[in-house]
Amino acid sequence: MTGAMAQTKLNIVLCGFMGCGKTTVGRPLSALTGRPFVDMDDYIVEQAGRTVPALFEAEGEEGFRRRERQACRELSERTGCIVAAGGGALTFEENVRVVAASGVIVLLDVPPEVPLSRL
């Protein structure tokens, strides 16, 4: 597959600071394009059976980041998805490499007052 056909298989990975609107943008983009939407934090919660705060409490940040790396690998094996990356997921070079190999990363860059007002 080449050209536009190959590009339809790429994931679109939304990244940015927490509260910037990754999920808010991702859901309607999914509906508009017909691509499945996956929120990485929700995916991790589903896999772990615990909320993000409960994971941080039980496993610490390193445990959560380990789960996040695994989620990046697993979600990168999918094709044609809209993925809302966790707020800190793509601050790690390993995760960026894995995600970029299967998709296009889109930074949602908003003024600091936007997430501040939402969080």
Fill in the amino acid letter for 118. Answer: R
pLDDT digits (tens, 9 = 90+) for 53-84: 999 999 999 999 999 999 999 999 999 999 99
Beta-carbon contacts of residue 37 (< 8 Å; ≥ 6 apart): 26, 27, 29, 30, 81, 82, 83, 84
* Residue linked to tokens 């983009």: 29
Supply the pLDDT for residue 5: 42
Comparing 46-50, 57-61, 78-82, 107-111, the range with the smallest average pLDDT is: 107-111
Fill in the amino acid letter for 99. Answer: V
**pTM score of the predicted model:** 0.85
| 110 or 100, higher pLDDT | 100
pLDDT category at 7 given cuts 50, 70, 90 is low
Fill in the amino acid letter for 65. Answer: R
**What does the angle CA 16 – CA 37 – CA 15 come to, to the nearest 5 degrees?**
10
